[in-house]
Amino acid sequence: MTDFVLVPGAWLGAWAWDEVTPLLREAGHGVHPLTLSGLAEKADRKGAPAPGQETHVRDVVDEIERLDLREVALVGHSYAGIPVCQAAQRLGGRLAHVVLVDANVPADGEPFLSALRPEGRAELEAALAAHGGDWPPPAAAALAGQDLTDEQLALFTARATPHPGASLTEPAALARPLASLPATYVQCLRDHPELRADVAPLVTDGHWRLTRLDTGHWPMLSRPRELAGVLLDAVR
């Protein structure tokens, strides 16, 4: 039995995996969806500083250690690829596999912001400044073309919460090259028809496996059954 730890990307909480979780459990695996600090049901900070990237790394590691999970398939979606890859390097023998779902990946000493094009970085910095340091969720119109039904769009817009900006500006810290991770990368073709430049060498050099899904950036909402199949294949 594998224990899947499912970490959603920006603006989302554990709820984003609600359609995937039962499919993995039906296959006989343990499943542990995780909400990162400052998001969803953890959005109320009670006056505490906004959580940074290291806090999100610790969220993942602490949950796995608290539950004493061993054969862990660590899944990171979108932004969560950055803390997930760092957490994976700290798990030692507990880690079985990493699955990165249309995810960003960390570069040692660099924040999430550094991977954006100059215009995207300026736009995000302006959004953080205008919203008290948080990154507001996108409006429904911005999600067009992402293979989401009206019902799925309504769910996203109703439940998404602002993302703590400190996690986007704090640099990553890698102990080893990403090529050392046993990983599968899931490319969502309707969002990124070309493989991300920072991921392509890891795939073409044979370090990571590549799987493609013909859907948008949120496959846990748009294609949960297909995504569950990919996660199960990754650990076989």
pLDDT tier at 169 (50, 70, 90 boundaries)? very high
Does the pLDDT of residue 154 top 80, yes or no? yes
| Dist CA 128 CA 134 (whole Å) | 5
The sheet carrying 3-7 orders its strands as: 30-33, 3-7, 72-77, 95-101, 183-188, 208-213
| pTM reported for the whole predicted model | 0.97
The pair of structure tokens assigned to 145 is 């073309």
pLDDT in tens, 11-63: 999 999 999 999 999 999 999 999 999 999 999 877 788 899 999 999 999 99
Name the nearest CA neighbour of 221 among 13, 2, 3: 13
Specify the pairing of strand 183-188 against strand 95-101: parallel
pLDDT tier at 171 (50, 70, 90 boundaries)? very high
What integer pLDDT is reported at residue 127 of this predicted model? 96
Name the nearest CA neighbour of 225 among 236, 211, 213: 213
Helices (DSSP H) in the chain: which residue ranges? 21-26, 53-66, 81-88, 118-130, 150-159, 166-169, 200-204, 219-222, 224-235
What integer pLDDT is reported at residue 45 of this predicted model? 78
| Dist CA 96 CA 120 (whole Å) | 35
pLDDT tier at 100 (50, 70, 90 boundaries)? very high
pLDDT tier at 231 (50, 70, 90 boundaries)? very high
Name the nearest CA neighbour of 112 among 48, 181, 37, 198: 198
In the block, residue with structure tokens 């730890």: 5
What integer pLDDT is reported at residue 105 of this predicted model? 97
- The mean per-residue pLDDT over the stretch 130-142 comes to 95
pLDDT in tens, 172-215: 999 999 999 999 999 999 998 999 999 999 999 999 999 999 99
pLDDT tier at 150 (50, 70, 90 boundaries)? very high
Rg of the chain, C-alpha, whole Å: 17
Name the nearest CA neighbour of 9 among 95, 84, 121: 84
- Provide the total of helices (H) and of strands (E) in the chain, helices listed first: 9, 8
What integer pLDDT is reported at residue 146 of this predicted model? 97
Sign of CA dihedral 170, 173, 177, 183: negative
What integer pLDDT is reported at residue 49 of this predicted model? 85
- The mean per-residue pLDDT over the stretch 62-70 comes to 98
What integer pLDDT is reported at residue 115 of this predicted model? 87
Question: Over the chain, what is the mean pLDDT?
Answer: 96
